[in-house]
Amino acid sequence: MKTLLDQISSQLTALSNSFEQLRQNLPDDSDNAPGSTVDSTSDNVVQALIHYLSVTPDHNRTLLTTALQCAMAVVDGGGAGLTLYDPDKQKLVFQAALGDGAQGLVGYEVPLQDSRHGLAFATGEVQSATPLHDTVEQAAQATFKNVLVAPLLVDDEAIGTISAVNKQSGDHFTPEDMSHYQVFAELIATIVRQEQRRQVVERFVARGETGKSPLTKVTLRDQDRQLLRCLQQVQQLSSQRPTLVPVVEQLVAQLLDESA
Of the residues 187, 207, 236, the one at which a domain ends: 187
Contact assessment for residue 65 and residue 58, using Cβ atoms and an 8 Å cutoff:
no
Looking at the structure, tell me whether residues 93 and 171 fall in a common domain: yes
Residue 242 class from Cβ within 10 Å (0-12 exposed, 13-18 middle, 19+ buried)?
buried
Looking at the structure, tell me whether residues 167 and 245 fall in a common domain: no
Q: How far apart are the first and last CA of the chain?
A: 34
Looking at the structure, tell me whether residues 179 and 93 fall in a common domain: yes
Give the number of domains in the chain.
Answer: 2
Neighbours of 189 (CB within 10 A): 22
pLDDT tens across the length of the chain (260 residues):
555 556 555 655 555 555 455 455 545 544 444 444 444 544 555 555 545 444 455 667 788 888 899 999 999 999 999 999 998 999 999 999 999 989 889 999 999 998 999 999 999 999 999 888 778 888 888 889 999 999 999 888 899 999 999 999 999 999 999 999 999 999 899 888 877 777 776 676 666 544 444 444 445 566 666 666 676 666 666 667 777 667 767 766 666 665 55
Of the residues 132, 166, 187, the one at which a domain ends: 187
CA distance linking residue 182 with residue 180, whole number of Å: 5
The DSSP symbol for 28 reads: P
Q: Which residues pair with 20 in a beta bridge?
A: none
* Domain extent for 228: 2-53+221-259
